[in-house]
Amino acid sequence: MFPQKLQALLQAALPVHSCRSVHRLASLQELAALPPQRKQRLLYPFSGLEAYLDRSVDRTPFQLFQPDLEGMAAAERLFRCSPSHRIEYVASAERMAHAPALKAPEVCFIGRSNVGKSSLIRSLFALVPELQVRVSKTPGHTKKMNFFRVGGAFTVVDMPGYGYRAPRDFVEMVEPYLFGRRNLVRTFLLVDGLVGLQDADLVAVQMCEEIGSPFAVVVTKVDKGGSGVLLSNLLHLQEFLKARTSRCFPQPFLTSALDYSGIHLLRCFLAHVTGSVQLRDTSPC
């Protein structure tokens, strides 16, 4: 169970009302009531896969960022609206020249069309049900850069997808942003856990490396398929990142927009890299 102090902090952060219901797994307070093993798997998804790993496999790269519950609670408060902390859609842009001039740190999300990017962003903002993050079943639906303000703390940018049915001018739209956005502090590259790294993803990794700014990999749809397929793709991904990248955070973030696996951890990492939350410890528990 949560410490009483932490429970009180979360209770104080709860909104008074909202226009539609919030998924119960989106809130740490609701997770506190779950059986310990399930709660552990949702907060730290890699823990649910360790039993399937050979003892010779190095687990360290998958456990570099493991903040405690108090750190996650501090991050969660950033993802809740209040009169003094508005979370809102800001603008859309087709070109860097059209992007809003914002001073807060930014994080952007890129990935193949239909990798689940907009669904992931919607799950990050699930505690703000009035915020509209459009999600389409049609690959390549996101045609513009969409900017979402998280109070005065940071901005989240949803980029158009690349690959299948991506906008023809994707490169002209995204590369200038990645190269020229001075307040961009981290790029998050999404990889589908069902299929693993694809050729288009390799090109995206190369682009991030050439830009030279820090990036991290988020593995989506970890609730789908079997553990064997996910582990195989995950180990291949980790080997690739170790051998072929120098600017990528070594730990892939495992997520599911359906059951909220890894969403709380990813929220905390966003708050951490933007300097919005100071964590006491991020090492494995």
Question: What local confidence, expressed as pLDDT, does residue 15 receive?
Answer: 41
| Angle ∠(61,203,96) on CA atoms, nearest 5 | 105
Give the integer Cα–Cα distance in Å for 31 and 90. 31
112-123: per-residue pLDDT in tens? Answer: 988 999 999 999
Q: What is the mean pLDDT of the chain?
A: 87
Q: How far apart are alpha carbons 255 and 119 in whole angstroms?
A: 11
Question: Minimum mean pLDDT among 35-39, 61-65, 114-118, 171-175: which range?
Answer: 171-175
Q: What is the mean pLDDT of residues 256-262?
A: 96
pLDDT the model gives residue 108: 98
Length of the chain: 285
Asked if pLDDT for residue 139 goes beyond 60, the answer is no
Distances in whole angstroms, Cα of residue 204 to Cα of each of 29, 142, 189, 197, 281: 37, 17, 8, 11, 31
Q: Quick: pLDDT tens for 205-240.
A: 999 999 999 999 999 999 987 888 999 999 999 999
pLDDT at position 281 is 72
Q: 74-108: string of b/e by CB count within 10 Å (b at 16+)?
A: bbbbbbbbeeeeebeeeeebeebeebeebeebbbb
**Gap between the Cα atoms of 93 and 157, Å rounded:** 10
DSSP codes of every residue in 116-140: SHHHHHHHHTTT-TTS-----SSTT
Q: What is the pTM of this model?
A: 0.89
Output the pLDDT for position 6. 47
In the block, tokens 């104080």 appear at 12
b/e code 254-283 from CB counts within 10 Å (16+ = b): bbbbebbbbbbbbbbbbbbbbebbebeeee
Query: How distant, in Å, are the alpha carbons of 56, 221, 233, 272 from that of 227?
Result: 18, 12, 10, 29
Q: Which residues of 198-209 are buried (b: 16+ CB within 10 A; e: fewer)?
A: eebbeebbebbe
Q: Tell me, what's the pLDDT at 13?
A: 44
Give, in degrees to the nearest 5, the angle at Cα 89 between 152 and 182. 55
Q: CA-CA distance, 165 to 112, in Å (whole number)?
A: 10
| pLDDT the model gives residue 133 | 83
Is the pLDDT confidence value at 32 over 60? yes
Percent of the chain having pLDDT more than 70? 87
At residue 52 the predicted structure's pLDDT band, cuts being 50, 70 and 90, is confident
Instruction: From residue 132, give the alpha-carbon distance in Å to each of 126, 148, 151, 257.
Output: 10, 10, 16, 15
Whole-angstrom distance, CA of residue 121 vs CA of residue 134: 10
Q: What is the pLDDT of residues 146-189, one digit of tens each?
A: 999 999 999 999 998 887 655 566 777 888 999 999 999 999 99
**How many other CB atoms sit within 10 Å of the CB of residue 240?**
17
Note whether 107 and 187 are within 8 A (CB). Answer: yes
The pLDDT assigned to 170 comes to 73
The pLDDT, as a whole number, for residue 64 is: 92
CATH fold of the domain at 4-273: Rossmann fold (3.40.50)
Give me the mean pLDDT over the 37-41 stretch. Answer: 94
> How sure is the predictor about 138, in pLDDT bands with cuts at 50, 70 and 90?
low
